[in-house]
Amino acid sequence: MMRRIPLVLLSLFMVLISSASLFTTSEAAQDRWGNEVPSNMLPYEFTNADPFDFSIAFSSPPGNNPSEYVLRNVYPVCNGAKDFDCIVSVDWIDPNGVSRPGKFEEYIPVGYRGIWCQDSDRLDPKSCDPERKTQYFPWTKRILTKGDENRLIPDGSRSSIWTFPGLEHEKGNRYLVQASSWAEMTNQKSPFAKDSVACWNCGSSQFQITPVGVSSDTSGLAVKGISFQYKKEGEEINFLERSGSISNQEKQCYLGETKETPICISRSKDTTSPRFRMSIKLKLTRDFLNNRHWLVGRASDVKIFTDRQEEFTTITLEGTTIKLPSAVALVPRTAEGYKLTRIATNKSIADSGVRNEPVDINDLSGFEGWSNVGRSGMSGSDPGSIGFWESIENAVNIRTGGVDSTWFFETANTSATDVGWLWPCVKTPQLSGVIASNATVMRPTPPKWNAATETLEFRIASPHLDENGKIAEGFYNLAVSREVATCLWGKDVVNARASVSVVNQDGEKKIFTSSYVVSSGYLNFQIAGFTYSVNTIKIRLEKSAEAPSPTPQSSESTSKASKFESQPQKKSITCVKGKTIKKVTTKTCPAGFKKR
């Protein structure tokens, strides 16, 4: 499994290698989604790396050597009220608005021998070979890596499988739930020194729900470019070695007790758009809320909630699964096309905030190698992707590549240039806000505050047409804490009115009348109905001189909210017929049933 690269470093890395590829032109008759590409065109792909690259999360401890200071913690399911750094609950909000608690089924029944597996205090030394970096083995215990509270390291687990009564997809009813955080040990030269503790403020966090199938079927892997090899060394347990391109992966298989019983987890298609709510209780790891207290979401109608206690903080994320498109820009394999990508690279570097010298756009020494690669690209969540897109949009054809259903949240990538306005307004540890959209390209940062116009601004981009050739409609959600909104716009935020504008790359401005809801301490803006190119979303709250109007609606109560507020829910009644029990939202029970 590949270790995550911090977003700022990823931006620099991806921009500078944008002309590199593992594929030759003879293999590039199609893009990664199977769409045909003319031989005289280079497919430059904008993907959403985390949602689209299907992978299973495992806890991985730090090592005790220099450069082995990174650790990953995958949150287990809470065992009780006194447990912490764990998943409290995962709920499905059904189409009637009724919250249906998910049922935890099992953890992924394998373990991961992490990249720093030579740490014999944390993993069985007999099971570790530092020469092979990716190793998996059967594991049934709840805890994969033992924590150390004095070092702020919780017990680490691995991804889990959940079901939701009444919810199914094409491969069954199982959903992969993943919640994880990254940290760095404060002493990077000697990660296990006495003065070294985990810095969760230095890392990031991800939360994801994916429909999956679970089986022993390894078929189709060769088509995806993945090969598997079983090995055995003496009496040691077999392990599975993976090679090939991880970016094409739809299925991951691991070694079971025998070669004949592998464990395969495959991503499923979800024809519906289920709405989920996930709550995570943070104690040792909650320091990430002191810095990474904004989230970037890939879901719609997003709501968040923070319950901040003295000893711990519980965060709750709710949203509806969306169809998220990738994109392919067809760049001519000519000197002009090569120069265009170098101009875009400079724009990407400047826009990302990475301090790096621009490339010489007239230097064509790399043209021959560039013109022979099969395909190239970058993540749509890369900080520089919006700048690259802007530079090429009017010069090339950009089309939708593939579309996938996604429910995904990630801590935003913050920097002083992006959010210097924010620090005077924040009380931590809690979530200050979340942004969410169905745009392919979305800068993974909080919105920028424009003090001159008193607006929060954010840029997004996506293909103008969807996968069916129809005009794509965009949406943008913003939830911002009431304390931040009050700090920015004044004290009367509940009775203010929202002014929203969407400005495209040509400067055309469209004004949207937008209501918002104040719920559980957050102002929730829902903006939809605009079409895509590169758009800048601008939100402003204007004080109303008149009496408060019905919009914005406020569901804020004077008492402290004890539960996260969901969409309006219909009242249900319980009906029984023998041993059969049904809950219905009608006033009376179905024929043959009696109200309980």
CA–CA distances in Å: residue 59 to residues 62, 117, 155, 252, 410: 10, 11, 9, 17, 17
Q: For position 136, what pLDDT does the model report?
A: 66
Q: What is the mean pLDDT of residues 300-311?
A: 94
Q: For position 238, what pLDDT does the model report?
A: 38
Is residue 221 domain-resident? Answer: no
For 578, other C-beta atoms within 10 Å of its C-beta total 7
Q: For position 507, what pLDDT does the model report?
A: 79
- Pair 455, 539 in one domain: yes
Is residue 393 domain-resident? Answer: no
- Which residue, chain included where needed, has tokens 């009115």? 497
Q: For position 265, what pLDDT does the model report?
A: 87
Q: For position 67, what pLDDT does the model report?
A: 78
The C-alpha atoms of residue 471 and residue 465 are separated, in whole angstroms, by 4
- Asked if the model's pLDDT at residue 549 lies above 80, the reply is no
Give per-residue pLDDT as tens, 351-368: 877 777 889 999 999 999
390 phi, psi to nearest 5 deg: -60, -35
Split at pLDDT 50, 70, 90, the class of 154 is very high
The C-alpha atoms of residue 461 and residue 257 are separated, in whole angstroms, by 47
Give per-residue pLDDT as tens, 111-128: 776 555 544 344 444 445
- Pair 585, 543 in one domain: no
- Pair 503, 431 in one domain: yes
Is residue 576 domain-resident? Answer: yes
- Pair 510, 589 in one domain: no
Question: Based on the structure, what is the number of domains in the chain?
Answer: 2
Is residue 515 domain-resident? Answer: yes
Split at pLDDT 50, 70, 90, the class of 319 is very high
The C-alpha atoms of residue 331 and residue 385 are separated, in whole angstroms, by 16
Q: For position 84, what pLDDT does the model report?
A: 96
**Which helix (DSSP H) or strand (DSSP E) does residue 214 occupy?**
strand 205-215
Is residue 416 domain-resident? Answer: no
- Pair 434, 541 in one domain: yes
Give per-residue pLDDT as tens, 499-534: 888 988 777 787 765 667 888 899 999 888 888 988
Amino acid at residue number 354: V
Q: For position 291, what pLDDT does the model report?
A: 78
The C-alpha atoms of residue 324 and residue 406 are separated, in whole angstroms, by 7
- Pair 460, 578 in one domain: no
| Whole-number percent of the chain with pLDDT over 70 | 73
- Asked if the model's pLDDT at residue 411 lies above 70, the reply is yes
- Pair 548, 577 in one domain: no
Split at pLDDT 50, 70, 90, the class of 580 is low
Q: For position 235, what pLDDT does the model report?
A: 36
Query: Looking at per-residue confidence, does 161 or 513 come out higher?
Result: 161
- Asked if the model's pLDDT at residue 276 lies above 70, the reply is yes
Is residue 477 domain-resident? Answer: yes
Question: For residue 436, what are the domain limits?
Answer: 422-554
Q: What is the mean pLDDT of residues 226-247?
A: 38
- Pair 550, 582 in one domain: no
Is residue 589 domain-resident? Answer: yes
Of 156, 253, 165, 182, whose CA–CA distance to 214 is shortest? 253
Is residue 426 domain-resident? Answer: yes
- Pair 486, 526 in one domain: yes
Q: What is the mean pLDDT of residues 185-195?
A: 90
Query: Looking at per-residue confidence, does 354 or 237 come out higher?
Result: 354
- Pair 576, 489 in one domain: no
